[in-house]
Structure formats: structure tokens, C-alpha cells
């Protein structure tokens, strides 16, 4: 296949959509080095003030009134693709999308965000867009917003998501169960001792990794870190503060007085290394974070999943036996104590995590995309 041209749409509403898109782009460049790839943010096709308002409001709701988001998520979870509200959403930016795509003439389009996927699928249904639309569902559940009968191919995490799409009437031949695409670096086997040495940590201590979501870190993060710092059972901790400067600076006093080794990091680009050396991750339940952890066979202790897709992702992990959910700070504290004193239970969860995903998710997803395009060209 020569001079392949690919258009990829993600969105800045949460980091997972972007990470999935980047993983696919990375793999396309491996399988088709000559490909021209254009990666765009869905929000750039919306009115800029409106896009900014939507993003800020979403962040505020997720951070401060997550139950409101949960009510909205579940209330709209069964909205039909041809409902008035969905038809309205399917028109967002459609004229600009169509004009841009007709000028660009890509061979196929990849979407990791549901709104843009449905907008383009609607254009496919109206037969004004001739380019195949491939949609990557970035959670372990299906909200109605992802569903449109004119998506050419769905890339999904697991059989449960496939069955949900089948129940919505999506054709079986349009669904590929590959796992959510993650960067190739999570598939590689890394040298644990070398990474621990580089971080200044010990090889003979259990290592707990604490990470928050893209819309703020875990609630009560400072107290979680203090508990790990003061534990009478030896443990070392890695705290990823991301862009939360307040948390980063507040941990200085905790680390100075800590009984146990603890390091704090700002925004990082080596999550695969941190997951390699860790025995347990205390985190939110974003679809990409879950997928990356499971790819690294890392058990998850999920704290206060946001109602909606995070809650469903957490149920998936729990049902696998690859992790457990704490809904309150007291539950989290009890579970940390329990796992520190019963490390064999973490190993049981690790074995469950190891068999959770099909493996080589991005390689398989991209291979399916290229096969679809080749078949279309031959047809």
C-alpha cells in the first residue's frame, strides 16, 4: 500500500482519547512507514469559546460534582442514534468536517472520541462522505453516544463491549476485539532492577504507584501518601502528581518525615517504567490507565471511580479479579493495610491481570484497519 493518508481525530476531554490516538499513529508508522498521518482535535472544529466552555465545565463537574456527571451518563446511556438529541449532536461541525475531509482525501479516518465518530458516521449514512470511519471505544463499556450503524469498523476492548454493540444492532463483521490500543512501550519487557536503581529505590521492597486522572489527582492524595510514608510494614512509593503543583509541594514535608522511601514526580512520560517496577497501582479508572496497567500485568486498587464510564471500567477490573475498588477513604486505608500484610493476594491479582487482554492490542487494531482499506481498494 503506497502513500497511505490517514486522518485521526481525538479530543482534549480527558487524556485517554489522545493516548489511544497516539498509540495508533505510532503503530501505523511501524506497519506503513510511508503513511501520511494528520492528527486533529475534535474541539478545533467547534466554536472556540464553546469548546473552551465545554471542556472547563466538564472538568469542574468531574472534579467537584461527579455524581451529577454519573446521573447524566446513565440517563443518556440508552439514547437511540436517531433520537432528536443525537441527531443534533451528529450535526456539530459537520459542514467543516466534510469540507476538510473532501479537500484532504484520506484513505480512512480513525476516531477515538464518540461525538466526532457519530458526526462522520452520519455523513456516511447520508452518502456525502465516502471515506471509511473506524472508531476506537476507549472504555470497557458502551455508552449510546458511541453507537451509530454507519461506523465502518469498531475497535473494542473486550467481548463484553462487542456484545453490547451487537445488542445495539451493529453488525458482527464491523467489530474487532483487539483490546484498547496502548503504546508499544507498554508491551516491551523492561529491566526492573535498572529502573529501580535509576529512581533511587530498593529492589527488595514492595513498590506502590499512586497516580490520578487527567482532571485532577486522586481525592485525599496527600493523606494516602502520608499513610504509605508512615506504614509500619516497609513499602516504597512513587507518587505522580501530574500538573498538580499544590500536591507536589505539599508532599515535601511528608517525604522529609517519612518512615519509608517515597519519591514524588510531576508530569511524566515514562509511565511504562513506573508500572514495570510497581507491585500495585492506586489510581482512577480511565480506560487507557486500566489498559496500560493490565498490559503491564499490574494489579489495580481503584479509588472513588467517577460515576459513569470510570465506574464501569472499575467493575470490569473487579470482575476480572485483577483489581479491587475502594469507594471511601476508610476502605482505601483498610485495603492498603491488607495488601501490605498479604502480598500474596497482590500476586493473585497479577496473575489475573496477565490473562486479561488479548495482547498486542495496537498491532492487531492497525492490522485490521489496513486490511479494511485494502479490501475496499480491491472492491
In this structure, the answer to whether residues 161 and 129 fall within a common structural domain is yes
In this structure, the answer to whether residues 208 and 259 fall within a common structural domain is yes
In this structure, the answer to whether residues 113 and 140 fall within a common structural domain is yes
Q: Cα dihedral sign for 189, 358, 309, 111?
A: positive
- DSSP 8-state assignment for residue 222: H
In this structure, the answer to whether residues 127 and 224 fall within a common structural domain is no
CA distance 294 to 308: 20
Nearest-5° angle of CA 180, CA 184, CA 190? Answer: 120
In this structure, the answer to whether residues 250 and 167 fall within a common structural domain is no
What pTM did the predictor assign? 0.91
In this structure, the answer to whether residues 170 and 75 fall within a common structural domain is yes
Q: How far is CA 147 from the centre of its chain?
A: 18
In this structure, the answer to whether residues 197 and 265 fall within a common structural domain is yes
> pLDDT truncated to tens, each residue of the chain (379 aa)?
468 999 999 987 778 899 999 999 999 999 999 999 999 998 777 656 556 656 666 666 767 777 877 787 777 777 777 766 666 666 666 788 889 999 999 999 999 999 899 999 999 999 999 999 999 999 999 999 999 999 999 999 999 999 999 999 999 999 999 999 999 999 999 999 999 999 999 999 999 999 975 544 566 888 899 999 999 999 999 999 988 888 899 999 999 999 999 999 998 999 999 999 999 999 999 999 999 999 999 999 999 998 999 999 999 999 999 999 999 999 999 999 999 999 999 999 999 999 888 889 999 999 999 999 988 877 6
Q: How far is CA 229 from the centre of its chain?
A: 29
Closest CA to 29 of 306, 254, 363, 274: 363
Number of domains the chain is built from: 2
In this structure, the answer to whether residues 166 and 249 fall within a common structural domain is no
| Cβ contact 181:27 at 8 Å | yes
| Cβ contact 147:122 at 8 Å | no
Q: Cα dihedral sign for 187, 193, 194, 198?
A: positive
Containing structural domain, residue 328: 188-354
Amino acid at each position: 500500500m503506497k502513500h497511505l493518508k490517514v486522518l485521526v481525530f481525538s479530543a482534549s476531554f480527558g487524556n485517554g482519547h489522545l493516548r489511544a490516538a497516539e498509540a495508533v499513529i505510532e503503530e501505523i508508522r511501524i506497519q506503513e512507514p510511508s503513511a501520511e498521518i494528520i492528527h486533529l482535535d475534535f474541539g478545533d472544529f467547534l466554536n472556540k469559546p464553546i469548546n473552551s466552555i465545554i471542556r472547563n465545565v466538564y472538568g469542574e463537574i468531574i472534579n467537584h460534582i461527579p455524581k451529577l456527571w454519573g446521573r447524566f451518563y446513565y440517563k443518556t446511556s440508552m439514547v437511540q442514534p436517531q433520537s432528536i438529541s443525537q441527531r443534533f449532536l451528529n450535526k456539530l461541525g459537520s459542514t467543516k468536517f466534510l469540507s476538510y475531509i473532501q479537500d484532504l482525501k484520506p484513505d480512512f479516518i480513525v476516531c477515538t472520541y464518540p461525538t466526532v465518530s457519530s458526526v462522520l458516521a452520519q455523513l456516511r449514512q447520508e452518502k456525502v462522505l465516502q471515506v471509511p470511519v473506524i472508531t476506537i471505544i476507549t472504555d470497557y463499556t458502551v455508552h449510546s453516544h458511541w453507537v451509530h450503524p454507519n461506523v465502518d469498523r469498531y475497535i473494542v476492548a473486550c467481548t463484553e463491549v462487542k456484545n453490547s454493540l451487537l445488542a445495539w444492532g451493529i453488525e458482527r463483521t464491523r467489530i474487532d476485539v483487539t483490546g484498547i490500543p496502548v503504546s508499544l512501550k507498554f508491551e516491551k519487557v523492561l529491566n526492573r532492577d535498572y529502573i529501580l536503581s535509576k529512581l533511587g529505590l530498593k529492589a527488595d521492597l514492595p513498590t506502590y504507584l499512586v497516580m490520578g486522572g487527567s482532571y485532577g489527582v486522586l481525592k485525599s492524595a496527600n493523606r494516602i501518601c502520608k499513610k504509605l510514608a508512615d506504614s509500619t510494614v516497609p513499602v516504597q512509593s512513587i507518587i505522580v502528581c501530574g500538573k498538580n503543583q499544590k500536591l507536589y509541594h505539599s508532599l515535601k514535608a511528608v517525604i522529609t518525615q517519612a518512615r519509608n522511601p517515597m519519591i514524588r514526580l510531576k508530569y511524566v512520560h515514562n509511565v511504562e517504567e513506573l508500572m514495570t517496577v510497581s507491585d500495585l497501582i492506586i489510581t482512577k479508572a480511565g480506560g487507557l490507565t486500566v489498559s496500560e496497567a493490565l498490559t503491564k500485568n499490574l494489579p489495580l486498587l481503584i479509588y472513588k471511580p467517577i460515576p459513569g464510564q470510570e465506574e464501569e471500567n472499575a467493575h470490569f477490573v473487579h470482575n476480572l479479579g485483577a483489581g479491587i475498588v475502594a469507594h471511601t477513604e476508610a476502605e482505601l486505608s483498610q485495603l492498603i493495610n491488607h495488601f501490605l500484610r498479604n502480598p500474596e493476594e497482590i500476586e493473585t491479582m497479577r496473575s489475573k491481570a496477565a490473562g486479561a487482554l488479548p495482547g498486542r492490542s495496537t498491532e492487531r487494531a492497525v492490522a485490521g484497519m489496513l486490511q479494511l482499506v485494502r479490501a475496499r481498494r480491491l472492491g
